[in-house]
């Protein structure tokens, strides 16, 4: 799944427990009719993906939905959901350099048409 939007917040990396579990969270605001502010977490080596991004940047984030069950001390099951990011890409702004397709007259063709071959197309 993918989420696109503008980065609203990037938190510092957090480390938990003796194992050194790493987590870093960001908030992306979607650009739909009713914008959503989605908290997306990056864990372990994926934390480093956020280093080159800043607040206000438009991005596309590849995500997985995660869910888990926790049984509280009274024996009642509680359920938690998380959005976990595993890839992030900047969105190209319209009109940005390099975004325009190359003109057709500058493209090289690799196949040549033999004028001696019969044209068997029905139109």
pLDDT band at 117 (very low <50, low <70, confident <90, very high): low
Query: pTM of this prediction?
Result: 0.70
Q: Which of residues 104 and 69 earns the better pLDDT score?
A: 69
Interval 41-45 mean pLDDT? 96
**CATH topology (fold) of 2-92:** OB fold (Dihydrolipoamide Acetyltransferase, E2P) (2.40.50)
Which backbone phi and psi does 4 adopt, to 5 degrees? -120, 145
pLDDT at site 79: 97
Res 118 pLDDT > 80 = no
Going by C-beta distance under 8 Å and a sequence separation of 6 or more, which residues neighbour residue 7? 26, 27, 28, 53, 54, 55, 56, 57, 58, 59
In the chain, where are the structural domains located? 2-92
Bridge pairing between strands 21-29 and 2-10: antiparallel
Which backbone phi and psi does 105 adopt, to 5 degrees? -70, -10
Which backbone phi and psi does 71 adopt, to 5 degrees? -100, 120
């Amino acid at each position: 799944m993918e989420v696109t939007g503008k980065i609203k917040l990037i938190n510092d990396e957090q480390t938990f427990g003796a194992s050194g579990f790493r987590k870093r969270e960001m908030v992306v605001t979607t650009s739909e009719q009713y914008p959503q502010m989605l908290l997306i977490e990056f864990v372990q080596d994926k934390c480093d993906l956020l280093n080159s991004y800043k607040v206000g940047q438009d991005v596309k984030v590849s995500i997985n939905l995660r869910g888990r069950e926790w049984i509280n001390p009274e024996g009642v099951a509680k359920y938690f959901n998380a959005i976990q990011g595993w890839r992030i890409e900047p969105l190209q702004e319209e009109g940005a350099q390099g975004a325009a397709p190359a003109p057709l007259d500058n493209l090289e063709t690799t196949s040549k048409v033999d004028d001696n071959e019969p044209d068997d197309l029905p139109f």
